[in-house]
Amino acid sequence: MLLAFVNLLAGITAGLIRIGWNFSMGALPVHHGAVMVGGFLGTLILLEKVIPLKRKMLFIIPVINALSLLMIIPAFSHIGQAFLLIGALGLLYVLILYFIKQPYDLSIILMLMGSCCLIMGHAMLISRQFYPIAFPWWMGFILFVIVGERLELSKFLPVTRMNKNVLIGFLFLFLAGLIVPFHGIGRYMSAAGLVFVGVWLLRHDIVSIAMKKSGVTRFSAYGLFSGCIALVFTGIFLVSLPDVPMAYDAVVHTFFLGFVFSMIFAHGPIILPGVLGLSIRPYHWLLYFPLITLWSSLMMRILADLAIISLQFRLISGWLTAGSILSYFIILAVNAIPTPKATNAHAV
């Protein structure tokens, strides 16, 4: 977990440099995407899946994956990227172990497909050394894993087999767009898939029900709602924005900040305690502030990308984004510390 958060700090620093802040950090900004998607998110997902299996030898996989941070050192760039690929292959192996136990579990099948997308993305990066080629496959990795997680967490909802088949069709439409290839007609297919998946989740997930609850349930619902809206807008931006660098930035960060981190914020109080072996849900109403700040920074960045407001606001948005992510995990960590009252109650 510590190595995962070292990757997060490195990725945030690289993002600030790429957005325009002048730090001297060598090759770090070049690998911002790989560090965030592979090093941080990949390691977190590996830990989440390895821990329940209770096989100590499997922990070498997330360790190797996290050590991919070596790629920021020019002399070790290819070694770090090779570690990313090993980690992705390890995730595939871990998910196969789940599949053997639950061969008809749709959520496991979707996560398996997500791990294959991750392998493809890393392979593209290693062979081409060009991030825009890897980016769509990384989107597929996160999309399939998160949708799989949502199906697993919402399996008791009255969602018919027909509705699930429709969702699978939307996901395959997105995947077909990656193969066509993505940077041609495939972009339109994948965009439609993203919009349809986002709308499906808004309609069939627990979002509308959970918003009427209180505490961590309501907070998670707002995070899920925000993520689904970002997914829809990612699809819209893919086909409506011109093919220029700033538009690419808007699409990438609408997906990875708006969708991915909203989902992380929503799932954090539920999933992270299990990863850390805690018996409490570390929720506090202050968690709304990082979520609001995250979205404020994203909207500021998109408006600057589209030249609606000054590019100076784009620089400010970087710090707002960094602050929102770090403050979220700090609030979560502080509330995860057992109080004497909580400890005594657990003992009873």
Low-confidence residues in the chain, pLDDT < 70: 278-279, 338-348
For residue 9, the model assigns a pLDDT of: 96
Q: For residue 320, which phi and psi values (nearest 5 degrees)?
A: -65, -40
**pLDDT tens for each residue of 62-88:** 999 999 999 999 889 999 999 999 999
For residue 259, the model assigns a pLDDT of: 97
For residue 87, the model assigns a pLDDT of: 98
Q: For residue 337, which phi and psi values (nearest 5 degrees)?
A: -75, 120
Helix (H) or strand (E) holding 59: none
- Give the Cα separation of 264 and 261 in Å (integer): 5
Domain ranges for the chain: 1-155, 174-343
**pLDDT tens for each residue of 248-297:** 999 999 999 999 999 999 998 888 777 777 667 778 899 999 999 999 99
CA angle 23, 25, 31 (to 5 degrees): 115
For residue 183, the model assigns a pLDDT of: 79
- Give the Cα separation of 227 and 198 in Å (integer): 8
For residue 78, the model assigns a pLDDT of: 93
CA angle 7, 11, 17 (to 5 degrees): 150
- Give the Cα separation of 56 and 73 in Å (integer): 30
User: 0.85 exceeded by the pTM?
Assistant: yes
Residue 280: Cβ within 10 Å count: 16
DSSP state of 337: S
310 CA to centre of own chain: 28
Q: Is 26 left (phi over 0), alpha (psi -120 to 50) or beta?
A: left
Length reported for the chain:
348
CA angle 192, 197, 199 (to 5 degrees): 95
- Give residue 25's identity as a one-letter amino acid code: M
For residue 85, the model assigns a pLDDT of: 97
